[in-house]
Amino acid sequence: MIRPFLICLFALCASATCSSIATAEKPNVLFISLDDLNDWVGCLGGHPQALTPNLDRLAESGALFTNAHCPAPACNPSRGAIMTGVSPHVSGLYDNRQSMRGQMPDADLLPRYFSNHGYWSAGSGKILHYIIDAQSWDEYYPPKETEDPFPRTFYPKKRPVSLPRGGPWQYIETDWAALDVTDEEFGGDYLVSKWIGKQLSQTHDKPFFLACGIYRPHEPWFVPKKYFEPFPLDEIQLPPGYLENDLDDLPPAGKKLGPNRYFPHIREQGQWKQGIQGYLASIYFADTMLGRVLDALENGPNKDNTIVVLWSDHGWHLGEKQHWQKYTGWRACTRIPLIMRVPKGAPGLPQGTVAGTTCDAPVNLLSLFSTLTQLSGLPDKETNDGPSLVPLLESPEAQWPHASITYLGRPGNFGVSGRRFRYISYDNGDEELYDIETDPYEWNNLAPKDEFASEITKLKAFLPATFAEYANNNSGASLPDLEWSPFDGTTELVSQPMHDPFEIRISNKAGEPLKIFSIDAQGGKHPYGTLETGWSKPYETRPGTIWLIANAEGQPLGYFTVGNEPAHAEVPVPNQ
């Protein structure tokens, strides 16, 4: 009877050993995001004054995709698509005013998918759109239960600092200033890089999926003054893609999208070069924080077994097409840095990446989910919509029968990027076409010319046959209003939730970012992240639930008590 027992024991030990080896061979993943970064990166040549030594050294050590584009030109739909692998045209998540979980309540995000396959998944900073999505992570900094991805950050108490507000339409964070603080005093991305660096400096029991969300160069462009010093104001160069009459050959939909109120306001205030200076300074600061993370990896125990991927959620206009901000289908807004470095021995790419590789195939960040699962030897998630980039990592010149599609806010609006041509189409039928090889700044719209009709036909062939409808597009105007109750500092808030859930829509008219909390039956606060000024979003709730609204510092401003039906809750200007 002993012999069979020993055989079983040996079999179990062999199985455990194989399992241990398999686990040990799984590569780690370092997943780095920089927010609102266009191609103003040294290795992409977007602006001659950009200082990005750490982005450049990462590109030199891995593979740089020079024709990479975002799934959508806004944070929420872009990050939602990246983190779920589900395209906006499938999920219906098209803009910042929607809820990711409202559109995809059951989707497994990248970190949860990796955790389900034996990884420890952790993160810090902004990876999703002003939420953490606690259910998707094993650990987070700040703690995932807060649903607030931002560590302590120093901001001037009196604002605006440089750019007066042109009206309630202006995003309060559109501002810039050199701050007389150290990196540590500033906090923010410095604290993110510190926490991520600590994880990279340790040996872990499991392979890790570690996400690092660097917030800059997202507005406001407030960073320590030493990052402004390399960019003297009298030496600032205007964006190389700026052309004064650039809108002349656009169709009506393009002309409507091109000029917005920000750019003329900035010019009227004499702040154009100051804004460019602030953006360059913020990029330099973000790059320095990236350097801290890369140094921690290089000097730690995980150097030789970690996949590194770096991306930005979308680009940014600084006057090109008479536009400031994002939300467009032009290359200034859709093209982003994408860098990948894969160590030798990765299951999906045993030879690893070749240092200094560049690839000009049209790729999309929607592919990151399927790429990382293949590289790590994990099964592909059936709902992934983006093709894996592994063939291009194996050979940059590999056949690539795909185009890159960027979805522009509503069904039927999109940009399609090929290897040479880019096509933009609006839901009213207006079209634009650009030859990037001869016209990298998209100054010459070729769509009206008959000789380019075949190029449009080729790019349109990549489009999906159907688009998910845009949901939750009600601004609240047709819903009954909930009464706003200013917080008096003494009222004890306790909810009495009952019956079935439904949605209310909370609109921020306060002129400043707000923190949203629901109150439970014991008076406990449950955070729902940040609601930016001017935005309106749906929140699932029940009758009798109290929603507490606080300012960016967490000080309560007021609350709403939910009634028996869907409603609109508008947060007014304080003391109004």
Reported as type and span, the H/E element at residue 375 is helix 368-376
pLDDT tens column, 223-281: 999 999 999 999 999 999 999 999 999 999 999 887 899 999 999 999 999 999 999 99
> Is residue 439 in some structural domain?
no
* 387 and 527 co-located in one domain: no
> Is residue 465 in some structural domain?
no
- pLDDT of 476 reads 54
* 398 and 499 co-located in one domain: no
* 180 and 317 co-located in one domain: yes
Q: Does the pLDDT at position 7 exceed 50?
A: no
> Is residue 414 in some structural domain?
no
End-to-end CA distance of the chain: 84
Q: Does the pLDDT at position 322 exceed 70?
A: yes
Q: How far is CA 566 from CA 220, 471, 472, 549, 570, in A?
A: 34, 15, 12, 18, 13
What phi, psi does 184 have (nearest 5°)?
Answer: -65, -40
pLDDT-wise least confident of 80-94, 424-438, 452-466, 527-541: 527-541
- pLDDT of 480 reads 84
> Is residue 377 in some structural domain?
yes
> Is residue 456 in some structural domain?
no
* 525 and 398 co-located in one domain: no
**2: pLDDT confidence band, cut at 50, 70 and 90?**
very low
Q: How far apart are CA 568 and CA 366, in angstroms?
A: 33
Q: Does the pLDDT at position 351 exceed 50?
A: yes
Q: Which residues are catalytic?
A: 75, 129
Last residue of a domain, one of 372, 407, 442: 407
Q: How far apart are CA 375 and CA 54, in angstroms?
A: 24
Q: How far apart are CA 559 and CA 528, in angstroms?
A: 14
At 564 the three-state DSSP class reads: coil
Cα 220 off chain centre by: 16
Domain count, the chain: 2
* 241 and 342 co-located in one domain: yes
**19: pLDDT confidence band, cut at 50, 70 and 90?**
very low
| One-letter amino acid for residue 298 of the chain | E
Q: How far apart are CA 219 and CA 271, in angstroms?
A: 15
Q: Does the pLDDT at position 219 exceed 50?
A: yes
> Is residue 279 in some structural domain?
yes
Q: How far is CA 355 from CA 32, 62, 294, in A?
A: 19, 4, 16
- pLDDT of 477 reads 59
Contact 375, 349 (CB under 8 A): yes
Last residue of a domain, one of 391, 407, 423: 407
Give one DSSP letter per residue of 512-550, joined into a string: S-EEEEEE-TTS-EEEEEEE-TT-EEEEEE-TT-EEEEE
Over residues 148-157, mean pLDDT: 94
pLDDT above 90 coverage of the chain, percent? 82
Contact 263, 323 (CB under 8 A): yes
* 368 and 491 co-located in one domain: no
Cβ contacts of residue 38 below 8 Å, gap of 6+?
Answer: 46, 312, 315, 316, 332, 333, 335, 336
> Is residue 554 in some structural domain?
yes
- 499: left (phi > 0), else alpha (psi -120 to 50), else beta? left
**Residue 362 corresponds to which tokens in the numbers above?**
């049209």
**Residue 385 per-residue DSSP state:** -
- pLDDT of 357 reads 98
> What count of residues does the chain have?
576
Output the domain CATH number for residue 80.
3.40.720.10
User: In terms of residue numbers, what domain contains 555?
Assistant: 485-571
Q: Does the pLDDT at position 111 exceed 50?
A: yes
- pLDDT of 312 reads 98
Contact 458, 82 (CB under 8 A): no
> Is residue 99 in some structural domain?
yes
Q: Does the pLDDT at position 205 exceed 70?
A: yes
* 395 and 521 co-located in one domain: no
Q: How far apart are CA 194 and CA 183, in angstroms?
A: 11
Q: Does the pLDDT at position 532 exceed 60?
A: yes
Reported as type and span, the H/E element at residue 368 is helix 368-376
Over residues 509-537, mean pLDDT: 90
Q: How far is CA 270 from CA 162, 276, 445, 548, in A?
A: 10, 12, 30, 40
SS (HEC) of 49-98: CCCCHHHHHHHHHCEEECCEECCCCCHHHHHHHHHHCCCHHHHCCCCCCC
Which residue, among 404, 158, 110, 125, has the nearest Cα to 290 in the 3D structure? 125
Over residues 319-334, mean pLDDT: 97
Output the domain CATH number for residue 553.
2.60.40.780
Cα 257 off chain centre by: 22
Last residue of a domain, one of 382, 407, 432: 407
Q: Give me the chain's average pLDDT, please.
A: 92
* 179 and 310 co-located in one domain: yes
Q: How far apart are CA 359 and CA 355, in angstroms?
A: 12
Q: How far apart are CA 189 and CA 34, in angstroms?
A: 10
* 362 and 498 co-located in one domain: no
Over residues 150-165, mean pLDDT: 94
- pLDDT of 478 reads 62
Q: How far apart are CA 166 and CA 540, in angstroms?
A: 34
pLDDT-wise least confident of 18-32, 127-141, 256-270: 18-32
| One-letter amino acid for residue 175 of the chain | D
Cα 286 off chain centre by: 15
* 162 and 299 co-located in one domain: yes
pLDDT tens column, 387-414: 999 999 999 999 999 999 999 999 999 9
What phi, psi does 505 have (nearest 5°)?
Answer: -115, 125
- pLDDT of 498 reads 85
pLDDT tens column, 281-316: 999 999 999 999 999 999 999 999 999 999 999 999
* 396 and 532 co-located in one domain: no
Q: Does the pLDDT at position 149 exceed 70?
A: yes
Cα 81 off chain centre by: 9
